[in-house]
Structure 1
Amino acid sequence: MGLEQIKTRIAAAEAASGRDPGSVRLIAVSKVQPPERVESVLQAGQRIFGENYVQEAQGKWPDWRERFEGVELHMIGPLQSNKARAAVGLFDAIHTLDRISLARKLAQQIAEQGRSPQLFIQVNTGDEPQKAGILADELPGFLASCRGLGLDPKGLMCIPPETGDPLPHFRLLRRLARENGLQNLSMGMSADFESAIAEGATHVRVGSAIFGARDYG
């Protein structure tokens, strides 16, 4: 589909939902994409990118950041606690804060490095045992614990179950954010970002619809 078509659809979804133009931030998910595809999207003007793996991001983004001004890098995959140091040094936002041990590591690294990525708490809206994220009823206590460590999460993130309607999950995340005084909602991917925008998404994570199918070979 391509970058420009996705941007056009985002603008239309903003208008249809009565949202301000530009109120939704597009995260181009560049994990496991060939470098030439990512560079093409960079040259087209996209500056916000999402990565799932710290080591992969470390291997490719320092060079691109030197060549392209204004790159903003978001961690959108599960983050191991032992990668917290590298993640704080590399990413401008971390969308997958999901346990207190990670919160402690991030707080330590933020204090040591003097660098504070924007933080999102991942919520397991489908209560799926195989999926990362805290449960919805755990959010108030977890948020209080994070703040007690000196962290200041700004939003919530979810990945709805692969099957079924994502809309109830978007609505749940929106309600949780409202109840807990959080402004940002990271939700919606290639197949459902327009529905997410209608429910208040501030960040949508789109990969294959921009870059094409991934080759994991």
Structure 2
Amino acid sequence: MENAATRLAEVHANIARVCKPARREASSVTLIAVSKTHDAPAILPLIAAGQRVFGENRVQEAEGKWPALKAQYPDIELHLIGQLQSNKADEAVALFDCIHSLDRPSLLTALAKAMDKAGKRVPCFVQVNIGDEPQKGGCGIADLPAFLEAVRAADVPLAGLMCIPPADTEAAPFFALLAKLAADNGLTGLSMGMSGDYETAVMLGATHVRVGTALFGGRG
């Protein structure tokens, strides 16, 4: 419990520190605790320490642990931060409060249909393939304006843009590019930055950072 509280306080202090020179309020940054691969006993100490926003990579894994936790702590917000298959759209809309990986027309169609069926609108970040990496999900930069138009037309709430920069490379230029793309398209939400680079991301405008290891320690 103490460990979780200490780690959480440290991440919040780091966010506050980098917000100062950027003239931002620390409260403008949402800290998403990435709980993928961690079971409920590992998650509970962070909840007890006050963390209320969590991120999962897979629908199936989240379904196994979060309904019970959310019943116990109804103020928890659950974000899907991993790739989403179109055939899991119904389950994702039922379970999650926000989706960070909307990246293609087929998924947009499936999510819009699932939201209509559930009578519930779930805010979505559009994931951008910021490093133009063929193996990674994400909308291509050139396709972004048209895709954003389609998202708005489908009445899917647009939370902003999300990216995962190429591994083993300086993240700052990619974060700066995502911030520019968001501004160019009239969006303010920026989901970017993980345990190794969230401070850089906050400096460059991140509104949502996805932090796992710095909060949980090693992988579960």
TM-score band, normalised by the shorter chain? over 0.9
1:138 matched residue in structure 2: 143
- Asked if structure 1 preserves the Cα contact closer than 8 Å seen for 2:39 and 2:65, the reply is no
Give 3-state SS (helix, strand or coil) of 1:96's partner.
Answer: strand
1:198 matched residue in structure 2: 203
What is the letter of the counterpart of residue 179 of structure 1? D
Alignment of 1:42-121 (within 5 A): 42-121=47-126
In structure 2, the gaps of 5 or more residues are: 1-5
Task: Report how far residue 163 of structure 1 moved.
Answer: 1.2
Structure 2 Cα separation of the partners of residues 181 and 152 of structure 1: 14
Alignment of 1:164-175 (within 5 A): 164-175=169-180
Deviation string 1:85-118 (CA, Å, 9 cap, x unpaired) is 0000110000000000000000001111111111
Give 3-state SS (helix, strand or coil) of 1:154's partner.
Answer: strand
Of the structure 1 ranges 14-23 and 40-49, higher mean CA displacement relative to structure 2 is found in 14-23
State TM-score, norm by structure 2.
Answer: 0.95
What is the letter of the counterpart of residue 88 of structure 2? K
Structure 1 Cα separation of the partners of residues 9 and 116 of structure 2: 39
State TM-score, norm by structure 1.
Answer: 0.96
Give 3-state SS (helix, strand or coil) of 2:20's partner.
Answer: helix
Deviation string 1:13-41 (CA, Å, 9 cap, x unpaired) is 11121102311000000000132221110
Give 3-state SS (helix, strand or coil) of 2:54's partner.
Answer: strand
What is the letter of the counterpart of residue 45 of structure 1? G
- Asked if structure 1 preserves the Cα contact closer than 8 Å seen for 2:172 and 2:201, the reply is yes
Task: Report how far residue 211 of structure 1 moved.
Answer: 0.2
Task: Report how far residue 151 of structure 1 moved.
Answer: 2.0
Matched, 1:9 2:14: yes
Structure 2 Cα separation of the partners of residues 13 and 70 of structure 1: 27
Structure 2 Cα separation of the partners of residues 69 and 97 of structure 1: 25
Matched, 1:147 2:152: yes
Task: Report how far residue 5 of structure 1 moved.
Answer: 0.7
Task: Report how far residue 157 of structure 1 moved.
Answer: 0.2
Give 3-state SS (helix, strand or coil) of 2:82's partner.
Answer: coil
The number of equivalent residue pairs is 215
Deviation string 1:129-187 (CA, Å, 9 cap, x unpaired) is 00000111110011112222222312000000111110111011000000001110000
What is the letter of the counterpart of residue 100 of structure 1? P
Structure 2 Cα separation of the partners of residues 209 and 151 of structure 1: 32
In structure 1, the gaps of 5 or more residues are: none
Task: Report how far residue 69 of structure 1 moved.
Answer: 3.3
Give 3-state SS (helix, strand or coil) of 2:116's partner.
Answer: helix
Structure 1 Cα separation of the partners of residues 130 and 121 of structure 2: 26
